[in-house]
Amino acid sequence: MNNPAHYPAARPRRLRQSDWVRRMTREHQLSSDDLIWALVVHDGVEDEIPVAAMPEAPRLSVRAAAKAAKRAQDLGIPAIALFPHIDPAKKDAAGNEALNPNGLVCTAVRAMKDAAPNVGLMVDVALDPFTDHGHDGLLGNGRILNDETIAVLTEQALIQVKAGADIVAPSDMMDGRIGAIRTALEREGHQDTLIMSYAAKYASAFYGPYREAIGSGKLGSGAHANPGDKRTYQMDSANTDESLREVALDIAEGADMVMVKPGLPYLDIVRRVKDAFAVPTYAFQVSGEYAMLKAAGANGWLDEERAVMESLLAFKRAGADGIITYFAPRAVQLLHGHS
């Protein structure tokens, strides 16, 4: 970058001296349009069930989720990302409850669309909320079965779309699942359904609170649990070029949007993906990031409100078109000046 001026001709602080000039020269902006609200729905009667590791982000009943959808509409939040916590008695090794058209996800989607038809609903396509072993796919002889899992995921996606989901978001990281789902959607007349692919999803320590929230437990705890982690299908944290290969494959197979997960620890990946492909690119500020900010704020170690907004702006600065976050409604309130 060429800047021929030198001090005192150049005084960069002139552009920082007051609020109006800082706003006028600000390079990146955050708005409600950038946010997708992540929330967990449960199949019980209690409107809210606290999650210890995620203060102020409880599991919601279907009724409460419908109210949340209306709140999102009122706040101008364009979409909600929905994740289920089902009765453990409904879980099995094959995740069969994922294919129930009257199950929790489909019931919640219908109720939320009725309450707020103008809010987009993004549903998770994966088996981990439904399996007793907590993995995203089917197990066989100690391995995650790729192609067999894809067949189930494709059926799951179709069922969710028929219930009213606007975006299907495969988070499983099976090879080839985007192409299979896109082909099925086209075949069944759902050519307008969006696919947001978890294209660069890393095997991360930052998912722990989410697993508590959806009740998937510790890997290895189910009757058929083996292997004990997700590293054979989620990406290695040391890799960056691999993310570009994954994204390229998913775009070629029919993804409309791509996601990097987790968020803040992988801002370099967000930037590389956006620069390389120039497609709608999203980042997921995951449960561990949420929990850390909440804990630091509760202990007075950080100014929580400022830290939250700074973290969200960091995604925009890195090139993200939007952020999936549990902070969405709070962030909108802060954007509107409500503390």
Q: What is the pLDDT of residue 227?
A: 58
For residue 225, what pLDDT band results from cuts at 50, 70 and 90? very low
Residues 304-316 have a mean pLDDT of 98
For 261-278, how does the pLDDT look when each residue is reduced to its tens digit (9 = 90+)?
A: 999 999 999 999 999 999
For 32-49, how does the pLDDT look when each residue is reduced to its tens digit (9 = 90+)?
A: 999 999 999 999 999 999
Q: What is the pLDDT of residue 216?
A: 83
Given the residues 91, 113, 201, 230, select the one marked as catalytic.
Answer: 201
Q: What is the pLDDT of residue 229?
A: 86
Q: What is the pLDDT of residue 339?
A: 66
Please state the pTM of the whole predicted model.
Answer: 0.95
Right CATH for 29-335 from 3.40.50.300, 3.20.20.70, 3.30.420.240, 3.30.1490.480: 3.20.20.70
Where do the structural domains in the chain lie, given as residue ranges? 29-335
Asked if residue 101 has pLDDT above 90, the reply is yes
Q: What is the 3-state secondary structure (H, E, C) of 105-171?
A: HHHHHHHHHHHCCCCEEEEEECCCCCECCCCCCEEECCEEEHHHHHHHHHHHHHHHHHHCCCEEEEC
261 is catalytic: yes
Given the residues 91, 113, 230, 261, select the one marked as catalytic.
Answer: 261
How, if at all, do strands 194-201 and 257-261 pair?
parallel
For 228-247, how does the pLDDT look when each residue is reduced to its tens digit (9 = 90+)?
A: 689 999 999 999 999 999 99
Asked if residue 226 has pLDDT above 60, the reply is no
Average of per-residue pLDDT values in the chain: 95
Residues 188-209 have a mean pLDDT of 97
Q: How far is CA 105 from the centre of its chain?
A: 16
162 is catalytic: no
